[in-house]
Structures are given as structure tokens and as C-alpha cells.
Amino acid sequence: MYGCCGDNMSLTLENAGPFLTGVVLGVVLGYTVKRWGLGRQLASSVSHNMEEMRQSVRGEQHKLVLVVRMDLKMGKGKVAAQCCHAALSCYKKGLKMAPKSVSAWEAQGQPKIVLKCDGGLDELEQLEKAARALGLPTKIIHDAGRTQVKSGSETVLGIGPGPASLIDKVTDYLKLL
């Protein structure tokens, strides 16, 4: 046991090495940060990112929309699972395609809207094409076919996260599920 950890708080030969090593590393690190201005750069970067986030939150609303094919007559649990697949896939795609939109969407509470697609596969594919043309992240989920629907069936279309005004240009006419 080291002498500084018990009742006797004195510096002993046993713990002098680690103590001095810590002091030297602290001084060298402090000098390096000051010399190269890393502290200011880091503070500036954090400040810039926070301001960008505040502007995104104050600005336009963002959302993620999940469009469910009604002609497949999936059960509630199946719809929920397919929507989860679509939401996660769109989130991952959004991180690569539009990280600022994802950040704004997260800061706004991650709104998700589930809509009905009564026009079957053709309508789902048209919606996806229109959303992609606007530069929005999209993902059509293909079911594995283990339970209620045929393998490869396109069940749900995810659109976003993205600006609500852009997503509404594609999905505004659809009804809530």
C-alpha cells in the first residue's frame, strides 16, 4: 500500500515516481495545448457546432416518414417491425447523406409519422423515386418472408430524416395510419 493513501499523507519513495510522472505529463500537455493553440481550436469548433445546431432547431422542422403498404394486410406487430427496420435504415443512410438534417431531427425530438399507402407497390416505388429526386434519404424494406408476407415483398418506405417541407412535397396527400 502506498504511503499517501492512508492516514500518513506524505510523499514516499514508493509513490514519488508516478507522482512526478503525472506532474511532468501535465506540464508538457499544458504547454503543447497552449503552444499550438489546440485549446482555442477545440473551443471554437465546439462553439461553431453548437451554434449550427441551435440554428437548425430554430429553423425548419425535420421529420422521418414511414409509408406502409396497406394492400399486404400485415398485422399490427408486423407493421411495427417493418417500420422499425425502415426507421433505422433511414437513420443510418441520413447520417451519411445529410448529417445536419439528422442532427436537427434529433434536436427536435425525432418526429416520426406513419402514413398509409393504398396504391400498392407502384405507388410506393413512385413515392421513393420522388423523394430521391429531392435528395432525401429513402429506404424500401423487403420482407424476409418468414411470417405473414411473401419473401422479398416491399412492405414499408422510409423517407428522411429531412426537412418537413421537402418530405411533404412527396407525401402530403397520404393519410395517417
What digits encode the pLDDT tens for the residues 5-14? 455 555 566 6
Residue ranges covered by each domain of the chain: 13-54, 60-171
What digits encode the pLDDT tens for the residues 110-144? 999 999 999 999 999 999 999 999 999 999 999 99
* Residue, of 17 and 98, whose pLDDT is higher: 98
Joined grid coordinates for residue 152: 422479398
Q: Which are the contacts of 130, defined by CB distance < 8 A and separation ≥ 6?
A: 169, 170
Residue carrying the nine cell digits 436537427: 104
- Spatial distance between the Cα atoms of 47 and 65, rounded to a whole number of angstroms: 31
Evaluate if residue 165 carries a pLDDT over 70. Answer: yes
Evaluate if residue 3 carries a pLDDT over 80. Answer: no
CA torsion 170-172-175-177 (nearest 10°) is 60
Class of domain 60-171: alpha beta
Residue 81's pLDDT band (cuts 50, 70, 90): very high
pTM of the full predicted structure? 0.68
Evaluate if residue 45 carries a pLDDT over 60. Answer: no
**What per-residue confidence (pLDDT) applies to 63?**
98
- Spatial distance between the Cα atoms of 131 and 153, rounded to a whole number of angstroms: 20
